[in-house]
Amino acid sequence: MNMRYPAARGWIALIFAVALLVGAASPAFAKKPRAAAATTPAADAQPAIKAELAGTVALASIKISRVALADDASLADVKDEVTGIYDRQESATKDALAKLKAAAGDSDKATEAVKALGAADDEAVKYFEKHAETKEKIAKRAALINTEIEQITKAPADYIAALKKADVTGDTLTKATTIVNYASRNQRKYRDSDAALTGRTEVRKLLSATQVKALDAALAK
């Protein structure tokens, strides 16, 4: 599995209950080799386990990249094309993961599923190799989103402080604070992997365009 999309650090970390599971690989654009055939029963399971993990991380990464694409107005002209690529990669990844699960110890079927997972992002690889600027914009925005997710999850007070720096005050700040604290609690206590991302979206709906721009600047520091 070769992710063309910035990894969703806070989001996927909570899926596996391991802090910052993919933080060190965000974003990951390097093409990885296909899994080699195993020679022992113990080794046979390793490519499938790694492929399943990579596939799950890729799905989380696609989710963040979709938000990044929607957030950046300068990508409007490529939004439909890139969204189509995300749709096809997501579908291929889910199909391959389902086949991997259905293999149930059948090494031949598992090997085919692993190969399918490895090929799921081939279209994205080719596209982003030719459109480096688009890749960079998505990566930059995704990094900002990851920062928001991490702050909402682990340091909601810091996120609220960033809102204040963006001149968010009064009822808007009160509503935003409630949303942030609720999302943080659900993300940490109930392992709700979407809570922080949903909270971020709801908070931004409350803000003016000027406040959104100021919040981005505050988070980027």
> What is the predicted pLDDT for the residue at 149?
95
Q: In this structure, what are the phi and psi dihedrals at residue 176, rounded to the nearest 5 degrees?
A: -65, -40
DSSP state of 191: -
**Average pLDDT, integer, range 196-214:** 97
d(CA 209, CA 216): 11
Whether residue 183 contacts residue 198, with contact meaning beta carbons closer than 8 Å, is answered with yes
Q: Are the CB atoms for 71 and 200 separated by under 8 Å?
A: no
Contact 216, 144 (CB under 8 A): yes
Question: pTM for the full model?
Answer: 0.77
**pLDDT one-digit tens code per residue, 14-47:** 343 333 333 323 443 434 444 444 445 555 678 8
Question: How high does pLDDT run on average in the chain?
Answer: 84
The tokens for 54 are 């990579």
